[in-house]
Amino acid sequence: MKPEKTESRRYQKQKLAAIRAAASVFSEKGFHGASTADVAARLGIKQGSLYYYFDSKEEALEEVCLYGLRQYVENMDAIAEGEENFQARLRAVVTNHLGRYREKNEALKVHNDERLYLPPERRVRLKQLGTHYRERLEDIVETGKAEAAVRDEIDSHFMAQSIIGMCNGLGEIIVRDPEADVFELARKCTDLLLHGTAPYHIQGD
């Protein structure tokens, strides 16, 4: 079956290729719409051989989702640990988030669209990553308060979730319109988050 301790270089390489093939096929046809034969074909092997790398189709989905999220979360960590001011970091976060919709990141798309088909026990690690992402963003909001760039009464959990949602919404524009300028969108988005819609001067409540 599977190599026990060895995990040879070749095995690891091919396993990564298998994850990518699965990401590609799942993102095209959906998890249930895609067969293990489709995935194997994309990889250039036969259906049965795929089980050398995955114990089940579900395990393949889990690995694809994890693979898609990881890099994305790593970027967030780098931003959160950086030394820039709130405005710059917010922009970096938004740009990182929106950028993912342009470079077609199939594994991340699979995570977004198909992860619900995983049974709960296969979703725990994904949830951990997602929570980690949001918590880093909450940290950034808190530093914004320390800098007096963010009003005190703003709840950082609420704020982080709002930012994530807004970016996902704008992602649709990027997907719909291949001409859309990601950096310009990121700029507008950051501006909206910082200043809102209302004219700058006075505003009542």
Q: Which residues bind a second copy (CB under 8 A)?
A: 30-33, 113, 116-117, 141, 144, 148-151, 154-155, 157-159, 161-173, 185, 188-189, 192-200, 202-203
Please tell me whether residue 142 binds DNA under the rule CB under 7 A. no
Of 30, 47, 157, 172, the residue at the interface with DNA (CB under 7 A) is 47
Residue 49 binding target from a second copy, DNA, none, CB below 5 to 8 Å by type: DNA
Please tell me whether residue 28 binds DNA under the rule CB under 7 A. no
Secondary structure, 3-state, the chain: CCCCCCCCHHHHHHHHHHHHHHHHHHHHHCCCCCCHHHHHHHHCCCHHHHHHCCCCHHHHHHHHHHHHHHHHHHHHHHHHHCCCCHHHHHHHHHHHHHHHHHCCCHHHHHHHHHHHHCCHHHHHHHHHHHHHHHHHHHHHHHHHHHCCCCCCCCCHHHHHHHHHHHHHHHHHHHHHCCCCCHHHHHHHHHHHHHHCCCCCCCCCC
Please tell me whether residue 175 binds DNA under the rule CB under 7 A. no
Q: Which is nearer to a second copy, 17 or 194 (CB)?
A: 194
Number of residues that bind DNA (CB under 7 A): 23
Q: Which is nearer to a second copy, 16 or 183 (CB)?
A: 183
Q: Which is nearer to a second copy, 18 or 189 (CB)?
A: 189
Task: Tell me the window of 53-61, 88-96, 115-123, 169-177 that interacts with DNA (CB under 7 A).
Answer: 53-61
